[in-house]
Copies of this chain bind each other. A is one copy, B any other.
Amino acid sequence: MTTIEEKFKKLGTDNAPGQEVRQRVDGPAASTAGAVIPGTPVDFSHGDVNESAFAPTPGSLDAFVHGFEQGGAQAYTEYRGHAEIRERVAGHLAEFTGAAVSADDQLIVTPGTQGALFLAIGATIVPGDKVAIVTPDYFANRKLVEFIGAQVVPIPMDYLGSRDKAGLDLGQLETAFKQGVKTFLFSNPNNPAGVIYAKQEIDAIADLANRYGVTVIVDQLYSRLLYPGREYTHLRATHIDPRQVVTIMGPSKTESLSGFRLGVAFGAEHLIDRMEKLQAIVSLRAPGYCQAVLRTWFEEPEGWMTDRIRKHQAIRDDLLSLLTDARGIEVRTPEAGSYIFPRLPKMRLDLAQFVRTLRLQAGVTVTPGTEFSKDATDSIRLNFSQNHEAAVDAIRRTIQIVERHRMD
């Protein structure tokens, strides 16, 4: 039997995005070679929701205040969320994903997409189960599975060696399913690599899920922020058995509404039902007044989303141009979202030392690749939803630090 100490050893958060402030003074030593490089500090561990970068959707605060003014009806919703708001959101999600969503039975509002992920995993697996997880993928996926006491079966994705597809190893996925994996959890667009799964990959996942009776939890948090040139396929709109798929989204990233802690999960009725039961003991409900902000979701002002995508694309392109010009940095162009996941050249510092040096000497905070895959010891994740100018300058400083410490 695993002790509680062993269980929590696997849940380290010191390198998790935004937790740098809690790093112990006895952490990895930073290099002090070379001078500090001045510049506006940039925290690439998450998006910047300030006015100078990407502020929350217009009208979101008003929607909150309106919710507050509704009093008890908005403070105390059903655990799965306010009925009329669910109705409204279900309509948008059905249209967006191309498959029906019942507001009554197939949708739950959660405290952020993190809440939705936890509830979906908690509603699907028990200790001892095997769960397929893509490497690299969102850092909490592995931890969620381990916390429940289930076993992670890693499925590699060759994002750097692929074009026009994510690069998932479908052969290994089928082998895992054959060997007893009954749950598959992945993000599309992929976090951290920013790549989109091709229609053939999504269709193949649906085929395999149907054939082996696997439940698929797909985190589509960034599926609204797509750059031109790639088609996006919603798993739930394929021929997958609808009882075997739960889709997770939320207005936190693209819409810069993270501060309200809102997410949704929609799909298989029996799983949504369990998720509500679990939510009742974990957090009761998504914050009541905040739920009212969902009234602005998919109802942004005309042109607002187009403009937001255009601005993100402009930053992406400037950062990419700097990174691909730098010697020995490999990077694939993100096709969606605001993450970029460059692979760095061999350095005289290990990844933890590099990340710390970068923060202390160049004021640039990034998330080490090892949060997303234990093999990604040479990669860093950057969220480029930032002030454009500051981000470009911070990447210049990052490249300077790499140059200082590279091996050849």
Chain A residues near B (Cβ < 8 Å):
1-4, 7-8, 11-13, 16, 18-19, 21-22, 46, 48-51, 55-56, 61, 64-65, 67-68, 71-72, 74-76, 78-79, 83, 111-112, 114-115, 117-118, 122-128, 140, 143-144, 147, 149, 258-261, 274, 276-278, 280-290
Contacts and interface: CB of A to CB of B under 8 A. Distances in A.
Given A11-B281, A277-B12, A261 B111 contact: yes
B50 A126 contact: no
Question: Could you say which of A64, A75, A125, A140 has the most chain B C-beta atoms within 10 Å of its C-beta?
Answer: A75
Contacts of A286: 261
A235 to B, nearest CB: 22
Nearest to A143: B281
A283 B262 CA distance: 10
A286 to B, nearest CB: 8
B71 A276 contact: no
Contact of A72 (B49, B115, B143): B49
Contacts of A122: 147
Nearest to A14: B277
B278 A261 contact: no
A253 to B, nearest CB: 12
Contacts of A74: 259
A18 B78 contact: yes
B68 A61 contact: yes
Question: Could you say which of A2, A50, A71, A143 has the most chain B C-beta atoms within 10 Å of its C-beta?
Answer: A71
Given A7-B126, A76-B259, A261-B261, 14 more contacts: A1-B128, A4-B123, A13-B79, A16-B280, A21-B78, A49-B72, A68-B259, A114-B282, A127-B127, A127-B149, A259-B289, A260-B287, A261-B288, A290-B290
A14 B150 CA distance: 29
Nearest to A280: B13
A243 to B, nearest CB: 14
A200 to B, nearest CB: 32
A20 to B, nearest CB: 10
Contact of A118 (B56, B64, B117, B281): B281
